[in-house]
Amino acid sequence: MLRLSDGRMLGYAEYGAAQGTPLFVFHGSPGARMQVRLAHAPAAERGIRIIAPDRPGLGLSTRRPGRAIADWPDDVCELADALGIARFAVIGISRGGPYAAACAWRLPERITRAGIVSGVAPPDGPHLANGLRRPGRFVFNLVLANPWLMCCVMAAGRQASRRFPELLFERVRTLAPAVDQPVLHRPDVVASLSASLREAFRAGGQGVADELLLLTRPWPFRPEEIRIPVRLWHGDADGVVPVAMGRYLATAIPNCRAEFIPGGGHYLVFDRIGPFLDAMVE
């Protein structure tokens, strides 16, 4: 854990090679740093040092009321400075995608390249939210109309994560599309995501609610303002984050090299850890 300049604590985990090429990995949500641990062995084999921080209000990191996506690069910079890392790559998975984009926008002098896997696009993109499946669309509308109610729901989620963690993960798995079911039944993936889900609610449900609220608000920057190289991957059968979001980002970000994976679902990252790592340090 790192104490930041404003007094908050920032939790993080490290995986891979301790002296390797640095890569910051931003987890999906609800989630935390343990979501990234399956990358430990592939990263070690490639000489890559992974740093996986918890965002404010999740895991070990102190909540920051009223935070914005554009605040995240400040926390990342403080962590990199504390670890003696001058330049580094970043990659964001799913709801971690906007945070990787924010770092690419704010820190062009420090970021070597950025990656976005199955990433969420800004909600003010052209009709992007319309492609969400029914559960995702319901949550999106709920957050827009009743943010206070979302906070109550997330508070209940904390109790469920503590008392019935297996049932909570099973609910997440049930809501996932058929294309993702094989990977979500892998024991290593189940263990990683279940631990990450429990840890997301460590300090309560407010941090998870903050994440959802931010996804409904416009980004404080435009994807067109990103100037460093970005690699983007998105499955064309993603039923959680519509592929239209990936196509929008690929078109909007000027220096973006995108790959749309035929038949790929939302959790394709777990089957492609090695190639994604290779692309981030090549």
Work out the angle between the directed axes of helices 187-200 and 165-175 (0-180°, nearest 10): 110
Band of residue 206 on the pLDDT scale cut at 50, 70, 90? confident
pLDDT for residue 170: 81
Sign of CA dihedral 251, 91, 228, 105: positive
- For 232, the token pair is 């983007």
Mean pLDDT computed over every residue of the chain = 88
The CA distance from 43 to 17, in Å, is 7
Structure confidence at residue 127 as a pLDDT band (50, 70, 90): very low
* Closest by Cα among 166, 147, 264 to 209: 147
Taking only the tens place, the pLDDT of each residue in 139-167 is 555 555 555 455 555 555 555 556 556 67
pLDDT tens digits for 91-120? 999 999 999 999 999 999 999 999 999 999
CA 72: distance to chain centroid? 12
Residue 233 clears pLDDT 60, i.e. is over it = yes
User: Residue 132 — pLDDT band, cuts 50, 70, 90?
Assistant: low
DSSP 8-class letter at 130: G
Length of the chain: 282
Please answer whether residues 59 and 10 qualify as being in contact, where contact means their C-beta atoms are separated by less than 8 angstroms. Answer: no
Q: Tokens for 181?
A: 């079911």
- Asked whether the predicted pLDDT for residue 262 surpasses 90, the reply is yes
pLDDT of residue 245: 92
pLDDT digits (tens, 9 = 90+) for 31-44: 999 999 999 999 99
Q: Is the dihedral of CA 138, 96, 168, 191 positive or negative?
A: positive
**pLDDT confidence of residue 173:** 85
d(CA 61, CA 29): 14
C-alpha 164/C-alpha 52 separation (Å) is: 26
CA distance 138 to 126: 19
- 262 touches 234 (CB < 8 A): no
In the structure, what pLDDT confidence band is assigned to residue 267 with cuts at 50, 70 and 90? Answer: very high
pLDDT category, 203, cuts 50, 70, 90? Answer: confident
Which pLDDT score, from 0 to 100, does residue 235 have?
Answer: 96
pLDDT score of 57: 95
Task: State the pLDDT at residue 164.
Answer: 57
Among 197, 204, 195, smallest CA distance to 154 is for 204
Q: Rounded to whole angstroms, what are the CA distances from 263 to 116, 255, 266? A: 18, 25, 10
In angstroms, what CA-CA distances link 31 with 23, 88, 137, 200? 18, 23, 20, 5
Long-range contact pairs involving 275-279 (C-beta distance under 8 Å, separation at least 24):
276/91, 276/115, 276/117, 276/233, 277/23, 277/39, 277/42, 277/43, 277/46, 277/48, 278/46, 279/115, 279/231
Q: What is the mean pLDDT of residues 192-204?
A: 89
Domains assigned to the chain: 2-281 (3.40.50.1820)
Using pLDDT thresholds of 50, 70 and 90, give the confidence band for residue 198.
confident
pLDDT of residue 248: 94
